[in-house]
Structure 1
């Protein structure tokens, strides 16, 4: 059916259309910083486990299953948080979810810093993980909601770059604090306490973020949607045009939610992301949490392994910055290429014995890992409609936390029994599996409105 001039005008004045064509302004930049700094603590928590594992094993005299459970506890909590709290952002709003997540995480991270026993620490780390677990699903959804379509990938990459500064910070803090023990207090306690205090600081920054206009429009809160849209428009120095309905507004709140994920095209996309997140953590988190143990197994001292790992971790923010210009290319193909490169560099890292090659391939592995990470975080949020975005991302992304929690129980025995090359070969094999699913099912998304990608 032909689109009449009147229909075209209504569509061009919808909340969706005005958000997509809006120039980047002050509020957009504030969103990037506030979201990025909040995600900092998700990444901080992920890489904290591997960095302090050696010190915890010595202090609490734990090995084997107990040590693996300590490494896994935060990931298990993140699984619960992502799968449960992610969906709450679709029901109650992105902003409320952001504030709750950080309050919960901060409280339990501070409690964990005072843990008297290994088992107390396991429980506290689990509960801290619940709070931080929903950070990425909600952030991915919010960024896809509010960023203009032609700049969505690159701006989101800047937010993720803010978060990945946490990786080298964790690496070098662990290198310093594990040996310094200021005031006679074990360094790992400082690292847990710093996470809790820092999250409180970001909480106050996030209080000023507007709710997603796109989400408000979808749940029928149209006056609030226009008011939130005006906040973004004022920050960009443009006027809000009269909103006349169309693709950006529903006349009443939607009542059919999760069941739509079983309908096409979303059912196939859910299958793709389920497989993707069951295995992507093997490549991404497997390196970050086990790299120092791999180096020790290859004959390096604990101090050397921490130093090499800390230098390698510099690749995470570098790779995240590199992803910004790359986002101009089709995200589906970027995702495929980065998966294959991550598998290759991981194997080269595992088989290197010279310090210079360990650092080079470790750096390349972490750098390409964050190109991969930035691309898939943008991509997974783009391929679901607004009222299901955080739910779909949360349910599938949570599986990456569950599989990452299982990694120590699977990969550590392989590392012990067969060595690092076999362990990383296993990781490369599962990365090839997810590549096939992305090739077969994943849609193209770059430079397309989320409305165009997701028929509603």
Structure 2
């Protein structure tokens, strides 16, 4: 065990002190494009639900189930499959998740009835839910410590281009058809096909050297490390190459009982239950909020699409902030700004102000999202990193699944202001637990942040 720990520490230090090279950039692009279609799938639920409500007269229960189905699947996927990357490796888990959710998204495009669409959105969500824990763990594993936040933010920025892209695609397709195919079905097909293309790109990525060392495969870890040091692509395996040694099993429950990890798990659990109200509460219900205020569907989709331009812009703005601000404090500052801008979006009277505060809300939410995704992966050890992130992050998916059943009744009965007041309270709780328990992580080695 001492030899194993020494190898992991040595490889971690070498990774942390590398200059940014071609392989790092390749990882950032591949992960970013993969997450593009993960984000696309998440926000697709809102577009489909708004369209089906107006064009197919769905009742309230079916609408809520459709909004919730993807998030329930994501809860299961994040909790059950997020830890898959700690057992079979980051790279294999990436590929499995992409195949899974693209297949079910494609099947969903041929749904003959609302119940079938709800079922396929749930099954696609299982694969989608596992993507972020694996991506967070992989990026945290391989990026140098001084550039970890900045480069991860670029990967997330690639992904969030999906939000305005989907917004404008929805605006163009929701009331139209191509060759007799309704636009909402085409949106599902586009997501599935794109995910398959990204899967082909990801096949060339090396495995995480940190993960290989954590499971006792030191020779493989050094070979993968060499790819990051030289920028060379992985060599193809010979046909008669022996199978790699099996991973050394880690008991995640026992591992995560060692202090300070129980406290960090508890912190992230409460944080994720509450932060979803701010992040996904806006993203999935923005169009419905505007409809409730008297705007027609076309105007609501247009205002929402313009507001959604803030997602990639905010994500890009997080890049310089990572270099200047401690991550813990950046999480707290963005929560406060997100609460203020969201409340203003719900209450301002003119379309111009609606778009302005919608843009500021989405921009702030993606600074927030980028920071906490990097932060949550940094505060757990390599051998259980994806498992811990998957377990805690899954609670945000469960919370998001409950949002339609909590926030839509408040919206219908009391209005947009009351709905965003509920969001404000939830965000206050999220900020409180991070301020109380969260460690500082910026520019620190992962083995220093996680000493046991």
Q: Confirm or deny a common fold (TM above 0.5).
A: yes
The equivalent residue for 2:218 is: 222
Q: Give TM-score, length-normalised by structure 2.
A: 0.94
The equivalent residue for 1:118 is: 114
Q: 1:318 aligns with which of 310, 313, 317?
A: 313
The equivalent residue for 2:289 is: 294
Distance 1:212 1:11 in 2: 14
Q: 1:208 aligns with which of 204, 209, 215?
A: 204
Given the alignment of the two structures, is residue 407 of structure 1 paired with residue 399 of structure 2, yes or no? no
Q: Give TM-score, length-normalised by structure 1.
A: 0.93
Offset from partner CA, 1:26-71 (integer Å, 9 cap, x none): 1100000000111111111111111221222244431211110011
Given the alignment of the two structures, is residue 68 of structure 1 paired with residue 64 of structure 2, yes or no? yes
Q: 1:393 aligns with which of 383, 389, 393?
A: 389
The equivalent residue for 2:29 is: 33
Provide structure 1 residue ranges, at least 5 long, that are not aligned to the other structure: 1-6, 238-251
Aligned-residue offset at 1:236: 8.3
The equivalent residue for 1:241 is: none
Over the aligned positions, Cα root-mean-square deviation in angstroms equals: 1.6
Q: Single out whichever of 175-184 and 137-146 deviates more from structure 2.
A: 175-184
Structure 1 outlier segments of 4+, above 6 Å:
10-13
Within 5 A, what are the aligned runs for 1:88-103? Answer: 88-103=84-99
CA spacing shift, 1:21–1:12, aligned 2, 3 Å: farther
Query: 1:12, 1:18 within 8 Å by CA — same for their partners in 2?
Result: no
Within 5 A, what are the aligned runs for 1:25-424? Answer: 25-235=21-231, 253=248, 255-328=250-323, 329-424=325-420
Offset from partner CA, 1:252-293 (integer Å, 9 cap, x none): 936443322122100100010000010111000000110000
Distance 2:9 2:347 in 1: 57
Query: 1:76, 1:405 within 8 Å by CA — same for their partners in 2?
Result: yes
Matched position secondary structure for 1:82: helix
Distance 1:308 1:86 in 2: 35
Matched position secondary structure for 1:327: helix
Query: 1:147, 1:155 within 8 Å by CA — same for their partners in 2?
Result: yes
Matched position secondary structure for 2:58: coil
Q: Single out whichever of 255-264 and 279-288 deviates more from structure 2.
A: 255-264
Given the alignment of the two structures, is residue 430 of structure 1 paired with residue 426 of structure 2, yes or no? yes
